[in-house]
Structure 1
């Protein structure tokens, strides 16, 4: 699929003005303007995320109620249940609340549902809570759509506090307190916290209420950062603060469980990045939630026993290998179904379904298919009369809104604009497929179906140096709304021998005006013919910059994104 390059412009002169005011190059000024940074004060805050940038937790609606209820139940020695989701965000959020309430002297336990129980609170989980005498349920990373289950808990005499960050449906659940930055008419300054981020805010509120000197709850930065990074939320505002402050804590391996996780992964770099969490560490935790018992992830995050932590981390490593094998088998089957039922060249969504697909991997596979075929994709695993599905979307297309339009055919649904989950009766499946296809087709435009590369600046190779690289590194942590910058250089000629390395990666050098730079294009082997036969005037290349090392030597390398 051809990609469209979208270039930043300076029609209003903001880049030139900021360059002059801050005495920066226009390249650096462009990077700042593209991130909404228009003055020196904003630049200082962006480049130096600190605790003072945290918002008052009591600005979150119902936070005062939540604090009062928690403290009341702790004082009465009520049995409290932390009810988390089974992914990384949910298990880190549960761990934060569990550890902090233990510190308060609470009688507290946690419940993480198996994936086959479905997303959110389950009647099984609530009934289990009743049987052991739970008096207060605190959800984390779930609960905002669990109306019936919360009503059930209330009917058993339990108090319920919902802490969540997912999209709110038409009405709030009948909980005693609902803490969610996405609540309608919320005045909270930042809407995009993760579940772990919301959990951290609850602990900050408890500390602030107690007038603690450490109301920021610094000892939980590592878990909050881990969950926030893994949940792919916008890397702006408080999320940027949480991850910036938390990643160095993860790297120091102070928490026994995270140390074991890093050790089992073979991590040996001189610093840890958000991408290390997303692509190396988080999948190990998600694997246990997908094909095992996710409560063991909370055990890993909260244990004080190094041997038990090592045992769990090694177990998760093995599970992750098993998960990959299941992924690949499911991907092949789903791709065959997609190509048999849909035209890849037509603007439409895709609903794929089968009996026996592992519920724990359909989200990952849906994500891969969405990326490859660039269309909203839902995958449903059928078991008896019920199907459970997971969907992913493309940038700019609201999957949650589509599921809402189809909600009359669903038992339940939830999620975000870019990802969602659902439960459906088998008897409604074909009607759902037809309606989903109709709704998506009516909303999907040719522009949305076109992959875009946002280019931040045009560089000559002579502009590329370690000073530029150091400033680019200070833009980290990268993530949604703060992507690693992409540059374009024009008239670059392939130099030396271009080769295929690994399975399908393109490795070569480019030369422009007597400057040669190493380059690699991941999964770009199909471009080999083009670079072996370049135009006379050279090629235009879109790329990211990074510092690579080999045999102890560090050098600047281009990461190709596209070439023309």
Structure 2
């Protein structure tokens, strides 16, 4: 699949030159900063030296005072408090954060994670009934609840109060809870709108600590959980999230909680510096697997483990869930690809909508993402749950999937999400009509550019520019993530030094040593899934490469390695 390379605007040359002189860096580094909105000495100082002192006052968030007061009241009265969270990483880390903090100072607490299959996303009537039957009079909802108008009303009839901590877009009505903390509320003046659900829970604890005179150092002991939520929920790692992720990673690397320590060991990353990518690809999927395959409560049990033996016991169970998940999603992906290969109409469509009543509901979102790697277009994977077809949708860069689904909303029982990901439910007998209508809408609204993967390139450089100081400065751009992605560079007219070889179990990857005319530098490089370029490159054909720069740790020997994202061959 051919990819489009888009070179970013390097920024105002006067501004770039001025910043380079002020902070004593190359203009390439200064340009990378300006692209990220870091265009003054003060901003650069905050970017390179994140400080917990820069966190915003939690009481700037609407309803914060009411939320803190209701918790204080519950503790004074000896009420039982239930922490209720979604079954994904953000929800389970949020519940674990709350429970771990309060169990040191109050005993009448518990937690509840809804079942993905029997209850679905968010607050459920079953969860409220559980609270009522077990004597809970205050529910603190985490990473969910912003649209739970009817559920909150139902809870009130049972004398149960709600505090909602959410970060999703509100609907037309705000639930009539004691407090609704959500920076995306139109009437909330909190300066940063992109907190994770766990992040909103953290702000509530921060407010509680301020009011109660508790040292925030005690709260910071749980920042490893918050870093996991920030990375896994793919929220922008800018502003307050950057500070929280920076210090959360520090905690994760030096003294993680017992539960996270067990996952790190099981994932085989205990002897390396853990970065955001390790959370996204190694830690987060294992936590998520519990809710996908078994119960999200198991993930909270792990994250709140109070001794090493139980942490490793539950960690092993969750790792087993993750292995099952990988097997199931791989099997369904292969089946889905076969369905497309056998249908000529589908092969040439602008969208993919597949339905199989036997597919596992817990992995349909992952399968949708995997299909986009082969057929780059908006994709919906549906399975059957009860008497309904339900599933997940994923989009491609620049295309508003939510609007496309909304255009077919008369066929749906329920749907929700955002531009790039959504969930939806419909009656089974409406699936075929939905496929037709969705394809019709996408075909009329998607552009040819959107159907071709795009690689955003931060800067054009020469291999000679990659010095030790250059890379050390790049490392200080971490933590990387949305809003501050790992920089991608382009080097033109490079070639292999003659040692190119194919690696991998199926010889699917290309290992190179890149050199450039007029340069004294040479760099090891790896190009995953690019075996088709082996012959021309092996025989000396020059090419342009776009890549990110990484440290490769092989048996304790650390070297720089270029991770190639794409190759464009040049004429000899």
- Quickly name the TM-score band, shorter chain normalised: over 0.9
Kindly indicate whether the alpha-carbon contact (under 8 Å) linking 1:144 and 1:168 is maintained by their aligned counterparts in 2: yes
How far apart, CA to CA, are the structure 2 residues paired with 1:9 and 1:432?
40
Partner of 1:368: 370
Q: Residue 397 of structure 2 contacts residue 453 of structure 2 at CA under 8 Å; is this kept in 1?
A: no
Deviation at 1:215, TM superposition (A): 7.2
* Partners of 2:298 and 2:318 within 8 A in 1: no
- CA distance 1:345–1:233, shift in 2 (3 Å): farther
Matches within 5 A, 1:153-172: 153-172=155-174
Quickly say closer, same or farther: Cα 1:285–1:551, change in 2 above 3 A. closer
- 1:354 aligns with 356
Equivalents in 2 of 1:228, 1:70: separation in Å? 25
Which whole-Å CA distance do the structure 2 matches of 1:27 and 1:99 have between them? 44
Contact 1:543 1:561 in 2 (8 A): yes
Correspondence for 1:377:
379
DSSP 3-state at the match of 2:544: strand
Deviates more, 1:239-248 or 1:124-133: 124-133
The equivalent residue for 1:436 is 438
Match among 241, 264, 267 for residue 266 of structure 2: 264
Residue 441 of structure 1, CA deviation: 3.2
The answer as to 2:548 corresponding to 1:544 is yes
1:525 and 2:531 are equivalent in the alignment: yes
Is contact 1:458-1:488 (8 Å) kept?
yes
CA distance in 2, matches of 1:194, 1:350: 30
Q: Secondary structure at the match of 2:522?
A: strand
Q: How far apart are the structure 1 equivalents of 2:177 and 2:413?
A: 21
Match of 2:482 in 1: 480
Q: Could you tell me how far apart the structure 2 residues matched to 1:325 and 1:273 are?
A: 26
Q: 2:10–2:458: 8 Å Cα contact kept in structure 1?
A: no
Residue of structure 2 equivalent to 1:129: 131
Q: Which runs of 5+ in 2 are unaligned?
A: none
Structure 2 counterpart SS, 1:95: helix
2:498/2:540 contact within 8 Å kept: no
Do the aligned partners of 2:10 and 2:32 also contact (CA within 8 Å) in 1? no
From 182, 185, 196, the counterpart of 1:183: 185
SS of the residue corresponding to residue 499 of structure 2 reads strand
Aligned counterpart, 1:118: 120
Report the TM-score, using the length of structure 2 for normalisation: 0.93
Q: Offset of 1:204 from its aligned partner?
A: 0.5
Q: Secondary structure of 1:448's match?
A: helix
Whole-Å Cα distance in 2 between the matches of residues 12 and 299 of structure 1? 51
5+ unaligned residues in a row in structure 1: which ranges? none
SS in 2 for 1:115: coil
Cα drift, residue 185 of structure 1: 4.0
Give the Å deviation of 1:447.
Answer: 2.6
Q: In 2 relative to 1, CA 172–403 (structure 1 residues): closer, same or farther, beyond 3 Å?
A: farther
Residue 553 of structure 1: how far off its partner (Å): 3.0
The 3-state SS of whatever aligns with 1:241 is helix
Q: 1:202 and 1:298, CA in 2 relative to 1: closer, same or farther beyond 3 A? A: same
CA shift for structure 1 position 420? 2.1
Q: Separation in 2 of the partners of 1:530 and 1:439?
A: 42
1:268/1:133 Cα in 2 relative to 1: closer, same or farther (>3 Å)? closer
Q: Structure 1 222/526 Cα, relative in aligned 2: closer, same or farther at 3 Å?
A: same
Pair 1:516-2:522 in alignment: yes
* Cα 1:189–1:434 shift into 2, 3 Å: farther
1:49-60 pair list within 5 angstroms? 49-60=50-61
More displaced stretch, 401-410 vs 78-87 = 401-410
Q: Tell me which residue corresponds to 1:554.
A: 558
Cα separation, partners in 2 of 1:213 and 1:554, compared to 1, 3 Å: closer
State whether structure 2 residue 6 is matched by structure 1 residue 2: no
Deviation at 1:411, TM superposition (A): 2.9
State the match for 1:63 in structure 2: 64
Choose the corresponding residue for 2:304, options 302, 305, 308.
302
CA distance in 1, matches of 2:174, 2:399: 24
* Structure 1 position 321, deviation (Å): 1.2
CA–CA separation in structure 2 for the residues paired with 1:360 and 1:69: 36
Q: 1:174 and 1:156 mapped to 2: Cα distance?
A: 14
Range with bigger deviation, 251-260 or 187-196: 251-260
**CA-based RMSD:** 2.1
Matched-pair contact (CA < 8 Å) for 1:119–1:421:
no
Question: Contact between 1:10 and 1:16, CA under 8 Å: does it hold in 2?
Answer: no
Q: CA deviation at 1:342?
A: 5.2
Contact 1:260 1:309 in 2 (8 A): yes
- The 2-side partners of 1:401 and 1:216 are apart by 44
Q: 1:129 to 1:404 in 2, by over 3 A?
A: farther
Change (3 A) 1:303 1:554: closer
Counterpart residue number, 2:327: 325
Q: 1:224–1:203: structure 2 CA closer, same or farther, 3 Å change rule?
A: same
Give the whole-Å Cα distance in 1 for the aligned partners of 2:307 and 2:94.
21
Post-superposition offset of 1:22: 2.8
